[in-house]
Amino acid sequence: MRKLPLLVFLLLSSSAFAQKTYIQCGKLIDGISGKAEPEMTIVVDGKMIGDIQKGYTSGSSGDKVIDLKNKTVMPGLIDCHVHLEEQHSKTGMLDAFTMTDADVAFHAQVYAKRTLMAGFTTVRDLGGSGVNISLSKAVAQGLVDGPRIITAGRAISASGGHMDNSVGFRDDVFDHKMGPDDGVADGRDELIKAVRLQIKRGSAVIKIASTGGVLDLSENSSGAEFTVDEIKAVVETAKDYGLRVACHAHGAEGIKRAILAGVTSIEHGTFMNDEDRELAKKYGTYLVPTIIAGKSVSDSAKVPGYFPPVIARKAVEVGTQIQNNFAQSYKAGVKIAFGTDAGVYPHGKNYMEFQYMVEAGMPPMEAIKAATVNAADLLGINNQTGSIVKGKLADIVAVDGDPLVDIKTMKNMAFVMKEGKIYTNQ
């Protein structure tokens, strides 16, 4: 018999006997089933889920065992709407003029790790200065601890729209007129250019605003700001590159136009009406409700001087309505994916969205699915993550207690694993 070279033999041997990790789960929510399974074991092989076994198994003597017998284990959570570059505060507008990109980057990496430690192994970052693209790369390269980041780079809006940073300021405050390079575009040609610029810079999803917003100095938070044809130009261009489109929208008309134009998700959806809901169901459009953001801004608006008067007014008008719209949309059968608008409230408290969703009438299991299998479907990564299935990435988290009994236990994150690497095991 021909002898194998020693190096080849060693490589084959190490591959064959590589250590596996056996996670013994007291209760397992796999993201697919409608109930939690007791006494299960997840076998992690490298970055992947190698097997799911009934009962508590431990493999061979060389394998690692993690005892989570008193925990509820589930897929790594997914937040479909975050802003890792920022954390809003009373000085937020001033910070935009004083912080450099380096300042933003150092803050962002802290927020990224805080989000991961809260159990969110994947996020969709829906707009910043472009530092978010660099942060996404740094996390992917293992330079920074954080969730997997699917980012939009700069978000796109109309002149005078929600992402036009010159709104409310004198014309001479900025050294140039906002245009496609800044994510401000009008008409098909400018919008196509704006989308292509974001893709060129590394965006993995496109974010637009079809209505006004709250945290800007414009007077109207809900008026429609693009035509159906303009939004179609964005959707078609993004689709050419294999990207999806998320659409910030508060007002009913702007929501309707965005759905008809083919966006993948409506973000916030505050004043969505029955016609919008029927269209969302017809076209399979997701709603990402961000209830916690609405509650946060409406609470902040009550603090004298926290916001300029125009923002405070809009915060109360919009913020107090988001949870009610979510309740109506869920009951109507609109597809829901979990998203919080983190950055509008403190990063790391994303779990509070679960409480507000359940409070509004969504069963705990459905709320968890919104942040796992549904969110993965919205992001187009359900072949990689979002459920505990053999062959998917080992994104696994665990909480103390049973969230199906008390959803507030989602706060008690005791174990976080992303792609087979353990970040905490308390």
Q: What is the pLDDT of residues 359-382, one digit of tens each?
A: 999 999 999 999 999 999 999 999
Which pLDDT belongs to residue 1? Answer: 45
Which pLDDT belongs to residue 175? Answer: 59
Residue entry with tokens 């190490």: 14
CATH code at 19-75+387-425: 2.30.40.10
Low-confidence stretches of the chain (pLDDT < 50) are 1, 9-10, 13-16
Q: Tell me the CATH class for 77-379.
A: alpha beta
Collapse the DSSP code of 140 into the 3-class scheme (helix H, G, I; strand E, B; otherwise coil) and give the result.
Answer: helix
Give the separation between CA 318 and CA 213, rounded to whole angstroms.
Answer: 9
Which pLDDT belongs to residue 26? Answer: 98
Supply φ then ψ for residue 288, to 5 degrees. Answer: -110, 100
Residue 365 is encoded by which pair of tokens?
A: 């299991």
Give the separation between CA 173 and CA 253, rounded to whole angstroms.
Answer: 32
Give the separation between CA 232 and CA 188, rounded to whole angstroms.
Answer: 8
Give the separation between CA 64 and CA 198, rounded to whole angstroms.
Answer: 43
Which pLDDT belongs to residue 4? Answer: 53
Nearest-Å Rg of the Cα atoms of the chain is 22
Which pLDDT belongs to residue 14? Answer: 47
Residue entry with tokens 């299991």: 365
Which pLDDT belongs to residue 15? Answer: 46
Supply φ then ψ for residue 64, to 5 degrees. Answer: -95, 140
Q: What is the pLDDT of residues 218-227, one digit of tens each?
A: 777 788 999 9
Which pLDDT belongs to residue 314? Answer: 83
Q: Which amino acid is at 296?
A: S
Cβ neighbours for 104, distance < 8 A, ≥ 6 positions apart: 85, 86, 128, 129, 131
Which pLDDT belongs to residue 196? Answer: 98
Give the separation between CA 120 and CA 77, rounded to whole angstroms.
Answer: 4
Give the separation between CA 172 and CA 180, rounded to whole angstroms.
Answer: 19
Find the farthest-apart pair of alpha carbons in the chain and give their distance in angstroms, rounded: 85
Q: What is the pLDDT of residues 264-319, one digit of tens each?
A: 999 999 999 999 999 999 999 999 999 999 999 998 888 988 888 888 888 898 88
- For the chain, domain boundaries: 19-75+387-425, 77-379
